[in-house]
Amino acid sequence: MNSKVEAEKKPAVKLEHVTKKFGSKTVIDDLSFEIYGGEVFGFLGPNGAGKTTTIRMVVGLMRMTKGNIFIQGHSVKSEFKQALRQVGAIVENPEMYKFLTGYQNLIHYARMIPGIDKKRIDEVVELVDLKERINEKVKRYSLGMRQRLGLAQALLHRPSVLILDEPTNGLDPQGIRDLRNYLHDLTRKEGVAVIVSSHLLSEMQLMCDRIGIIQKGKLLGVETVNEFVQEGGEKVRLTVDDGAMAARVVKEKLAIETESIEPQAIELAIDHEKIPVVIDTLVMSQVKIYGAVSVTKSLEDRFLEVTGGKGLV
């Protein structure tokens, strides 16, 4: 065995047959997967699938019924301190003192962690791009800035694993883009393993290297975002004068279900050779067609396919 290769491949987080029961109800069912340093891993699933429960078990806020979780090789069960030392997390809203400045909040928090000096505080402030506003009171911060301060706080002790539950909640598009860039930097520059859970599938598609999908506590699969999307194949998007009417025509005349209907467009998952047939049929039924393009399925399309079209928020 080549120990160097083995060492390089060592997972940052490893779930082994993790099961959680509440009474007789199994909410997490035999979950096993691994997450590596340098990647952003997205944890996706419909409402109630078990994302938060899983994350709470990874960060030691909840006991598992069966199985084990290892963080940098340390068992959460038997080496709790060593395991959790590696983790930075924002699971619930981070506690901030609103009447203190961002900087004072970080100083306060740093006092509780041995070995954190002023240099490290400056580093994390720089990393989350809060330098210019760090001496303002937190009560004057926007949601995005508070969230960045939370991120700075979670990174203070140089964790090798960062866990964020629904991190884009409440952020505007600029805030989401900024977060995406910070996370990208963290994984690429510092080799941190980042785990995010979210319902915002389009966002996950841009943010994550790999995704794991769970439904009813079971893992449906772990794949790279590209693999996952490509497996779904392509679909055709027709720009029309009346989307609802076009969808009705293809259903009644060709028995084809429309994947998505917009006021002036429809999208169909059909074989290549069916495209002219659909277009002919629509034209004969007086539907005006202004354009036809092949589009790759989005992560959202694939997510709805594999989870049976339920649970999108």
Ligand X SMILES: Nc1ncnc2c1ncn2[C@@H]1O[C@H](COP(=O)(O)OP(=O)(O)OP(=O)(O)O)[C@@H](O)[C@H]1O
Contact present, 295 and 234 (Cβ < 8 Å): yes
Q: Provide the 8-state DSSP code for 47.
A: T
**Residue 159 is a binding residue for ligand X (CB under 6 A):** no
Structure tokens at 85: 């030392």
57: Cα separation from own chain's centroid: 17
* Among the listed residues 10, 32, 48, 181, the single contact to ligand X using CB under 6 A: 48
The footprint of ligand X on this chain (CB under 6 A) covers a number of residues equal to 10
Q: How far is the CB of 190 from ligand X (least distance, A)?
A: 27
Closer by beta carbon to ligand X, 56 or else 235: 56
Spatial separation of the C-alpha atoms in residues 94 and 114, rounded to whole Å: 20
SS3 call for 90: strand
Q: How far is the CB of 41 from ligand X (least distance, A)?
A: 15
Q: DSSP strand E in 140-281: where?
A: 161-165, 193-197, 210-215, 218-224, 234-240, 260-262, 265-268
Report the run of H or E that residue 292 belongs to, with start and end: strand 289-296
**Residue 51 is a binding residue for ligand X (CB under 6 A):** yes
**Residue 312 is a binding residue for ligand X (CB under 6 A):** no
Closer by beta carbon to ligand X, 73 or else 309: 309
**Residue 93 is a binding residue for ligand X (CB under 6 A):** no
* Among the listed residues 45, 88, 150, 243, the single contact to ligand X using CB under 6 A: 45
* Among the listed residues 9, 10, 17, 22, the single contact to ligand X using CB under 6 A: 22
What residue ranges bind ligand X (CB under 6 A)?
22, 27, 45, 47-53
